[in-house]
Amino acid sequence: MTKPRTGYIRPLDLKNGQVDMTHGSGGRAMAQLIEELFLTAFDNEYLRQMNDQASFQIPAGRMVMATDSHVVSPLFFPGGDIGCLSVHGTINDVAMAGAVPLYLSASFILEEGFPLADLARIVESMANASRQAGVPIVTGDTKVVERNKGDGVFITTTGVGIVPHGVNISGDLARPGDAIIVSGTVGDHGVAILSVRENLSFGTSIQSDTAALHGLVAAMVAAVPGIHVLRDPTRGGLATTLNEIARQSGVGMMLRETNLPIRTEVRAACEFLGLDPLYSANEGKLVVICRQEDADALLEAMRTHPLGQDAALIGEVIEDDHHFVQMETAFGGRRIVDWLTGEQLPRIC
Amino acid sequence: MTKPRTGYIRPLDLKNGQVDMTHGSGGRAMAQLIEELFLTAFDNEYLRQMNDQASFQIPAGRMVMATDSHVVSPLFFPGGDIGCLSVHGTINDVAMAGAVPLYLSASFILEEGFPLADLARIVESMANASRQAGVPIVTGDTKVVERNKGDGVFITTTGVGIVPHGVNISGDLARPGDAIIVSGTVGDHGVAILSVRENLSFGTSIQSDTAALHGLVAAMVAAVPGIHVLRDPTRGGLATTLNEIARQSGVGMMLRETNLPIRTEVRAACEFLGLDPLYSANEGKLVVICRQEDADALLEAMRTHPLGQDAALIGEVIEDDHHFVQMETAFGGRRIVDWLTGEQLPRIC
């Protein structure tokens, strides 16, 4: 790589500077932003190729590819920010095929006037998340739009990964009798975002659970290679994710409310706000469906991982031509856990 | 794939409907938008997996990955729209490594209130571009932001492809003595966008050159496997791209102005607007640098392809510690073709 020649203009003012339209024009200012901010933070051998694409060796096999745009508001929230969220979110989508995530791309749409200090903080958070996960950001893009045509920063990440031989995980593989397990408490991310957006203070601090789940998934696949379904219940929460799977697999589900792990403070916040934690987004949790006889081994493997300590068996897959997700309530009744119809929380991720 | 169950709500009103916040919420309205619009248009076996990631078999070898966000304004312009542009742009970034593009992802950031009819038109254009190129859109994402927090639609595409064995193309491989070739007329896309934005009419119709270049690249690589550098001169135009390469390879360049293919109407429009066609974006052109002795074979291969008919030898790589791109002008003088410093045209792609 040629040493960046950025001495010809003043260094970026990462303290008081702002994004302006020249940062998206393809010229010198854009090259400077990329070199002084993105390349410096994400530094790796692939980005150093300095081409419009990254290049890497891959083994033959089954690859997965996943993409997510992130528009979360506010950009900074308890437990994370749009930067680490955009890394975790796409790593998790790749991992939910049982795959080992290998590489990420990141594309930024910046609003004119956005403080460079905030951008630097976000980029640093992405870089940390990427390093901790061991999944490098190998290529990217930057665009700038005028004031009031964007909202600070939107980040689209795409990931690729390789599925280990013999692993075949898909949303259409849930079978009646299968066990339904969740990796931990549900609803944290959505409630964390809403609390800060509504400027609520409950005397407790509810943090987003944003985290990369590929390490947990690797431990799970090692323990039970024959996992049927894996999915991260993000937008729409656990309820929506289970309805998607029920429909895809052509089955029903029966949950047990008393088994659902929900933090006390999340439950309290939800009651206060009129929300249902089953529909509140998660960014560091997964749902797994496996044969009943594999459930104990899987739960044990999950509980020995830091991100699966609160793993719980929450129900089972049943036959149902209507593909309903039902729940035995704490009071002994039953209710349908339907799709989220409207909007619970906009711009949650 | 389970048959989509969209009968439970009214079908999308693709004629008079608008994007609303529920289309990004993860619930039923989002599922409906995805099924009735995106899945219907992009239909392929990978999307039909209905998982949060696509899965496909790949051979061992060298893979490339490229990503681009598209924020072009206006969304529809002579010769194309943001939809086909977002497919072509990323296919081209993958192809510029000499790679065969295999799969694309597409992520949408929609503004509340955006007409569904416009979205459908854009999605159809993407689907057509993808089909014509033979590169399927295998996974995606949709987010919605409030009015005045976006601008209609932004589309981020990411592509992966495989580099044929023995091909090694990179921006740092230009060597003194190498030939510099451009695949056709320069500046068309930028001028087409500006003409419509400024509501200009020159009595001629300048069209964007947006096109997928991987077929041309395959023909070129077949003729001359030892190509040194390939790049598509998009934002910042030919001048900026050549400066990038000069810096990356640590060389200079000498262009011949009289050899530059520029449409008469583009030249006229540029004079009228005070633009330089060398800095005007292209979306269906490439620059290639190869050994002087390979230039004739490469030009012949290019000119037999529909997208390379106007290919021209425009200069050569020279030694220069300053990495200047220079041009012998039509009048016999020389001038430096510098980096674009500020903003020529915002939101050109």
Give all strands (DSSP E) within B152-251, no chain letters: 153-163, 179-182, 229-231
- The pLDDT, as a whole number, for residue A344 is 65
- The pLDDT, as a whole number, for residue A322 is 97
Look at residue A325 and give its three-state secondary structure: strand
CA distance A143 to A9: 21
Average pLDDT over residues A22-35: 88
CA distance B18 to B238: 39
Q: Nearest Cα to B139, choosing from A97, A84, A228, A279? A: A97
- The pLDDT, as a whole number, for residue B202 is 62
Provide ipTM, 2 decimals: 0.95
CA distance B171 to B229: 5
- What average pLDDT does chain A have? 93
- Select from B2, B105, B248 the Cβ nearest to the Cβ of A50: B248
* Edge-first strand listing for the sheet containing A312-318: A229-231, A287-290, A179-182, A312-318, A252-256, A325-328, A334-336
- The pLDDT, as a whole number, for residue B267 is 94
- The pLDDT, as a whole number, for residue B5 is 45
Cis peptide leading into residue A164 (ω within 30°): no
The model's confidence at residue A273, banded by pLDDT at 50, 70 and 90, is: confident
Q: Which of residues 172-201 of B touch A (CB under 8 A)?
A: 172
CA distance A324 to A320: 7
- What average pLDDT does chain B have? 93
The structure tokens listed for B208 are 């964007």
The model's confidence at residue A272, banded by pLDDT at 50, 70 and 90, is: confident
The structure tokens listed for A61 are 């096999």
**Does the distance separating the beta carbons of B68 and A53 come in below 8 Å?**
no
pLDDT tens per residue, range A296-316: 999 999 999 999 999 999 999
- The pLDDT, as a whole number, for residue A147 is 97
Domains and CATH numbers, chain A: 18-163 (3.30.1330.10), 178-336 (3.90.650.10)
B248 touches chain A (CB under 8 A): yes
Helix or strand holding residue B328 (H, E): strand B325-328
CA distance B13 to B25: 18
- The pLDDT, as a whole number, for residue B301 is 98
**Does the distance separating the beta carbons of A171 and B27 come in below 8 Å?**
no
Environment class of residue A73 by beta-carbon count within 10 Å: exposed (0-12), middle (13-18) or buried (19+)? Answer: middle
Helix or strand holding residue B81 (H, E): strand B80-81
- The pLDDT, as a whole number, for residue B200 is 74
Q: Nearest Cα to A167, choosing from A214, A224, A216? A: A224
The residue count for chain B = 349
Higher pLDDT, A2 or B259: B259
- The pLDDT, as a whole number, for residue A343 is 61
Average pLDDT over residues A6-16: 77
- The pLDDT, as a whole number, for residue A342 is 62
- The pLDDT, as a whole number, for residue B204 is 59
Alpha-carbon gap: B268 to the closest alpha carbon of chain A (Å): 23
- Select from A96, A138, A341 the Cβ nearest to the Cβ of B53: A96
- The pLDDT, as a whole number, for residue A4 is 41
- The pLDDT, as a whole number, for residue B8 is 54
The DSSP-derived string for A38-70 is IIHHH--TTGGG-SSSEEEEE-SEEEEEEEEEE
Give all strands (DSSP E) within B98-234, no chain letters: 100-111, 137-145, 153-163, 179-182, 229-231
Q: A261-277 b/e with 16+ CB inside 10 Å = b?
A: bbbebbebbbeebebbb
The model's confidence at residue A26, banded by pLDDT at 50, 70 and 90, is: confident
- The pLDDT, as a whole number, for residue B203 is 45
Look at residue B293 and give its three-state secondary structure: helix
A101 Cα distance to chain centroid: 13
| Residue that is written with structure tokens 């998790």 in the block | A92
pLDDT tens per residue, range B85-109: 999 999 999 999 999 999 999 999 9
Q: A206-228 b/e with 16+ CB inside 10 Å = b?
A: bbbbbbbbbbbbbbbbebbeebb
Residue A6 pLDDT greater than 50, yes or no: no
CA contacts within 13 A on the Cβ side of B45: 3
**Does the distance separating the beta carbons of A346 and B25 come in below 8 Å?**
yes
Contact A111, A119 (CB under 8 A): no
- The pLDDT, as a whole number, for residue A286 is 98
CA distance B35 to B40: 6
Alpha-carbon gap: A84 to the closest alpha carbon of chain B (Å): 18
**Does the distance separating the beta carbons of B50 and A172 come in below 8 Å?**
yes
- The pLDDT, as a whole number, for residue A3 is 38
% chain A with pLDDT above 90: 85
pLDDT tens per residue, range B130-188: 999 999 999 999 999 999 999 999 999 999 999 999 999 999 999 999 999 999 999 99
pLDDT tens per residue, range B14-25: 999 999 998 988
The structure tokens listed for B46 are 């990978």
Residues of chain B with pLDDT under 70: 1-9, 201-204, 341-344
What's the pTM value of the predicted model, to 2 decimals? 0.96
CA distance B334 to B330: 9
Angle CA B35–B37–B42, to nearest 5: 90
Contact B87, B130 (CB under 8 A): yes
A272 touches chain B (CB under 8 A): no
What is the DSSP code (8-state) at residue A114?
Answer: -
Q: Which of residues 102-161 of A touch B (CB under 8 A)?
A: 103, 105-109, 138-146, 148-151, 154, 156, 158, 160
pLDDT tens per residue, range A222-271: 999 999 999 999 999 999 999 999 999 999 999 999 999 999 999 999 99
Of the listed ranges A180-184, A273-277, B187-191, the one predicted with least confidence: A273-277
Give the number of other CB atoms < 10 A from CB of residue B124.
17
- The pLDDT, as a whole number, for residue B26 is 81
**Does the distance separating the beta carbons of B342 and A67 come in below 8 Å?**
no
% chain A with pLDDT above 70: 95
- The pLDDT, as a whole number, for residue B342 is 62
Contacts of A26 in chain B (CB under 8 A): 234-237, 240, 281, 340
Alpha-carbon gap: B333 to the closest alpha carbon of chain A (Å): 25
Residue A293 pLDDT greater than 90, yes or no: yes
Contact A324, A279 (CB under 8 A): no
- Select from B97, B106, B247 the Cβ nearest to the Cβ of A53: B97
CA distance B283 to B96: 13
